[in-house]
Amino acid sequence: MASKLFGGMNLSDVAKQIKQKGDPSPYESSVARPIVPAAELALTGRTAPMGERVSVLSVEPKRCRPWKYHNRSAAWYTKERCQDLIDSVVKDGQLEPALARKLVGDPDFDFELIYGMRRRFAAEFTHTKLKVRLTDAEDAKAAVLMHIENADRQDITAMERALSFQQQLEAKIFATQDAMAEAFGLSSPQVTKLLKAAQLFKHAAVGALFPDKSAVPVAPAYELVTLMERSGAKEVVVKAAQNLAARGEGARSPAATLKFLTMSLDRSKHLEPIKREYHVGPSTRMSAARNPKGKVTLTFPKGLHASDREGLIAAIEKLLKDLG
């Protein structure tokens, strides 16, 4: 069944509109090899028919900027990380066009790329024109097309997707997190995990430890952000990040840095042991013990009764105050 999207529209409808609205090229067209963006093929569920005529524009790569919700990190745009694409362009030319929207009123750029920024880099590096196909898709549709085009690419990291999802949700491209999940064909828990992991960079001291955000693994980032939601944990992690930066230690991998920050919470748990007793009712006592790691154990030597409810609440409130 087709996934529903935006007022009942499904993904195949999106692809159909994009295909219909792509402007014909005044410069070139070819029947030698079909060039159809992967996003369109995925949306329509069809394969590219042999000999299909597909028109594209050939433009100056420098006149193209990334769409502001583009999901690629700038760290990708180096010769080393685009070498495979550069070699392909030199050997066979650009095989698939980028997807772009026409800009109006921008003196520096004529197009914004929904996807295809690595193709732009390769074109600029090889001093060739960039092949683009135009669309007037609104932001939500553009987000879906970008997601589908890049969904199976190994060089798009999970954190890049997470940061892109966060940016799109904050910009209200999608009304809710569930709407985003449905549009992208993902489960709500998947999107929740990605969005929470992206929150790691909202803490400036922590984010500063990761020059290349795209390389940060999602699972440990999600775990750390979850731990930071505990009372007092954020302050401990931020302080650990500041200390790590101040010491200027040798480069750590993103995974090692996250592990260090997570362990800072364990290192902070060496607390003063305590053992206290509290009155709960006329004949009821509560014993409270805290070990050096912060674990608190409550015992009731004479048991508890329904009539002890109010006294128990008062005793626990006093205990919490004593624990600080």
pLDDT at 100: 93
Q: Same structural domain for residues 152 and 36?
A: yes
Low-confidence residues of the chain: pLDDT under 70:
1-55, 73, 151-155, 249-251, 267-272, 293, 324
What letter does residue 137 receive in the DSSP assignment? -
SS (H, E, C) 78-102: CCCCCHHHHHHHHHHCCCCCEEEEE
Same domain membership, residue 58 and residue 27: yes
- What does the alpha-carbon distance between residue 46 and residue 241 come to, in Å, rounded to a whole number? 49
Last-in-domain residue among 231, 247, 267: 267
Instruction: Tell me the C-alpha distance between 82 and 113, whole Å.
Output: 17
In a domain? residue 113: yes
Residues 124, 227 within the same domain: no
130 and 225 co-located in one domain: no
Q: How far is CA 147 from CA 144, 168, 175, in A?
A: 5, 12, 17
What pLDDT sits at residue 4? Answer: 47
28 - beta bridge partners? 56
In a domain, 151, yes or no: yes
Q: Are residues 260 and 299 in the same domain?
A: no
Is the same domain home to 13 and 147? yes
Residue for token pair 């230690």: 249
pLDDT tens-digit map of 68-97 = 887 776 777 788 878 888 999 999 999 889
Last residue of a domain, one of 135, 156, 177: 156
Residues 235 and 319 in one domain: no
Determine, yes or no, domain membership for 181.
no
Q: Identify any residues that bridge with 104 across adjacent strands, giving them in sequence order.
A: none
For the chain, the domain total comes to: 3
173 occurs within a structural domain? no
Can you tell me the distance from the alpha carbon of 192 to that of 160, in angstroms, rounded to the nearest whole number?
A: 15
Same domain, 10 and 152: yes
Domain harbouring 127, CATH code = 3.90.1530.10
Whether residue 257 is contained in a domain is answered as: yes
Whole-number pLDDT of residue 162:
92
- The answer to whether residue 163 sits within a structural domain is no
User: Across the beta sheet with 130-134, what order do the strands follow?
Assistant: 28-30, 54-59, 130-134, 98-102, 111-115, 64-66
Q: Which of 126, 156, 186 is the last residue of a domain?
A: 156
- Boundaries of domain holding 95: 4-156
**Residue 168 counted as domain residue:** no
Model pTM score: 0.61
Closest C-alpha among 307, 310, 309, 314 to residue 278: 314
User: Are 229 and 109 found together in one domain?
Assistant: no
- The pLDDT of residue 46 is 43
The answer to whether residue 175 is domain-embedded is no
What was the pLDDT predicted at 42?
A: 40
What does the pLDDT read at residue 214? 87
Are 101 and 32 in a shared domain?
A: yes
For residues 113 and 29, state if they share a domain.
yes
Shared domain for 253 and 149, answered yes or no, is: no
